[in-house]
Amino acid sequence: MDEKKHVKFHGRLVFVGFGSVGQGTLPLILRHIDMPRDRITIVTADERGRKEAEQYGIKFVVNPIKRDNHRAILDSLLRRGDFLLNLSVDVSSAVLIEYCLQHGVFYVDTCIEPWHGMYTDGSLPAGKRSNYALREEVLELGRRHPKAATVVITHGANPGLISHWVKQGLVNIAREVLGDIKIPKTREEWGRLAMKLGIKVIHCAERDTQVAEPRKQRLEFANTWSVDGFVSEGRQPSELGWGTHERHFPADGQRHDFGCGAAIYLGRPGMSVKVRSWTPGEGPFHGFLITHGEAISIADYFTVRENGSAVYRPTCHYAYHPCDDAVLSNHEMGGKNWIAQPKYRIFMDEIYDGVDELGALLLGHAKNAYWFGSRLSIEQARKLAPFNNATSLQVVAGVLGAMVWALENPDRGLVDPDELDYRRVLDIADPYLGDIVGAYSDWTPLTDRGWLFPEDVDKDDPWQFKNFRVA
C-alpha cells in the first residue's frame, strides 16, 4: 500500500464516537494525513475501541456528548482550524455542525444523526423524522455561514462514495453512447448529461455476502457494521428521491411541504420495505429500501429546472441486501414491532468468507443498465487496513477521501458529497476498495416475472417505481 501522505494538518483532530468505523478510520488517517498523534483525541460514550486507540498512542476519553454538555466539551477540545470527525450515533449532527460553522472548525460525518430517541418519538410526524428533514435543517445552517471552514456532510461509502460512482458511471456510459465528451463541471451540466442519457433510476445497489462463525444467535442482532446505526436508520421512514418520469404515486407515499421537493417518504420503516435491484456478482436480488442521504442529495443534485419547474429528476434510492445474518436479525426484530434485540454483535475477526459489492446502478439509458462501484472481499480488506472488514473499509475509504478534500479546500462551508471533486476523492479512496467494477446488464425489474401470479405492473415503462417495489 502506498503510504504517501496526502496532506499535512497542523490543527487538532477530535473523534466523536469510536465504533467499528472510527476504529477502522484511525490507521488510515495516521497513514495518509501528516499530523502528530498527540494532537488527536477520541471522545466517545463507552469503552469500545480503547484497546485499538491505545495501540496507536491516541488519547481516549469516555464522556458521552449530550444536550446539556456538548458546548462545554467542544470548547475544551477545539479551536479555529481544528477538525471534528463525527462518527457517533445518537448525537445531534446539526448541533455539532453549527458549532463548527460558527468556530471555523473542519467537519466530516457519515450521516446526519438526531439526538437519541428522535427516530422512535411518536409525537413527531414521520416527515419530521426523515433524512429529508434532517438534511434541510443542516443545509439552512450552511446557508448562514457560506464561507466557513469546510463541513462535509454524509460522506462515508453510501452516502459519500456513491455520489462519485454515479458521476463516473455517467461519464463511462456517455463515452460508450456519445463518444468523446466534455466532462461536466457544474451541477447544471451534470443534470443535463444525465437527462440527455435518459437516466431514469439510480440505485445504491449493495449485496453483502460476508459470513461469520458463530452465526447469529437467537435474540441477537448481528451485522458487519454499526448495529446502532443500522437499526436507527432502518426504523426511520423509507425515503426515495422521486423522479419526474414517475406516474404511479405510492398509496402510502407522502410529499414534504418544505425544502427542495426532491424526495418523498413512505408510511413504513425502511426495514419493512423491499425493492428489486441488481449487482454484477449477485445478479437480481431483493434489497431493503432504507433511508439514506444519497437518495435525497443525488436526486436533488441532478434535478434540471426550467422556468422554476423540475423538468428532469431521476428516482434514486438505496437497495440494500446486508449479510444474511443481518437479514435474519432484521426479520426477528420486525416480528417484535421493530424493538431491537437485547444483544448485538458486529462481525469482524470471526468473518471467514464473503464480499461487499456496493455501487451505483444507473437505469433507463441506451445501454439499459450499468453498475459501477466496489467489489471488496474480506481477504482484500484484511490485507489493506487493520480493524476492518469489507463493509467498514468501504466507509472508511470515503471518510478519508472527504477529510483530505476538506483540508485541500478549506473554506467551502457546508457541502453535500455531490459537490466534491469526484475524481480527487476516488483517487484517494480507490486503493482501499478492492476491485473497481463497471458492468452493463439487460436486467429490468420485470425480468423473469411473466410466469408469476398476475401482478400490478407497468409493462409500458419498466423503470416505474411500482415495478421495483416488492408487494
Burial label, 185 (beta-carbon count in 10 A; 0-12, 13-18, 19+): exposed
Question: Averaged over 305-333, what is the pLDDT?
Answer: 97
Q: What are residue 8's DSSP bridge partners?
A: 34
**Rounded Cα gap, residues 471 and 456, in angstroms:** 9
| Closest residue by Cα to residue 298 from 185, 456, 132 | 132
- Whole-number pLDDT of residue 364: 98
- Whole-number pLDDT of residue 120: 65
| Closest residue by Cα to residue 433 from 390, 399, 383 | 390
CB 223 within 8 A of CB 336: no
**Rounded Cα gap, residues 168 and 154, in angstroms:** 19
Question: Averaged over 157-161, what is the pLDDT?
Answer: 98
Which residue reads 478534500 in cell numbers?
405
In which band, very low, low, confident or very high, does the pLDDT at 454 lie, cut at 50, 70 and 90?
A: confident
- Whole-number pLDDT of residue 119: 65
User: For the chain, how many residues are written?
Assistant: 471
**Rounded Cα gap, residues 203 and 188, in angstroms:** 21
- Domains delineated in the chain: 7-152 (3.40.50.720), 161-392+432-468 (3.30.360.30)
In which band, very low, low, confident or very high, does the pLDDT at 328 lie, cut at 50, 70 and 90?
A: very high
**pLDDT tens digits for 355-367?**
999 999 999 999 9
Residue 63 DSSP one-character state: -
Is residue 52 helix, strand or coil? helix
Q: What are residue 13's DSSP bridge partners?
A: 40, 83
- Whole-number pLDDT of residue 453: 76
**Rounded Cα gap, residues 300 and 364, in angstroms:** 18
Indicate the average pLDDT of the chain.
96
In which band, very low, low, confident or very high, does the pLDDT at 312 lie, cut at 50, 70 and 90?
A: very high
Question: Averaged over 45-57, what is the pLDDT?
Answer: 96
**Cβ neighbours of residue 66 under 8 Å, at least 6 residues apart?**
none
**pLDDT tens digits for 108-144?**
999 999 998 776 666 788 888 899 999 999 999 999 9
Question: What's this model's pTM, rounded to 2 decimal places?
Answer: 0.97
CB 418 within 8 A of CB 447: no
C-alpha neighbours within 13 Å on the C-beta side of residue 194 = 31
Stretch (H or E) spanning 358: strand 355-365
Q: With 90 as the cut, is the pLDDT of residue 457 above it? A: yes
Q: With 80 as the cut, is the pLDDT of residue 3 above it? A: no
- Whole-number pLDDT of residue 4: 79
Written in H, E and C, the secondary structure of 400-423 is HHHHHHHHHCCCCCEECHHHCCHH
**pLDDT tens digits for 175-224?**
999 998 999 999 999 999 999 999 999 999 999 999 999 999 999 999 99
Question: Averaged over 56-77, what is the pLDDT?
Answer: 97
Which residue reads 454483535 in cell numbers?
345
Question: Averaged over 387-393, what is the pLDDT?
Answer: 98
Q: With 70 as the cut, is the pLDDT of residue 171 above it? A: yes
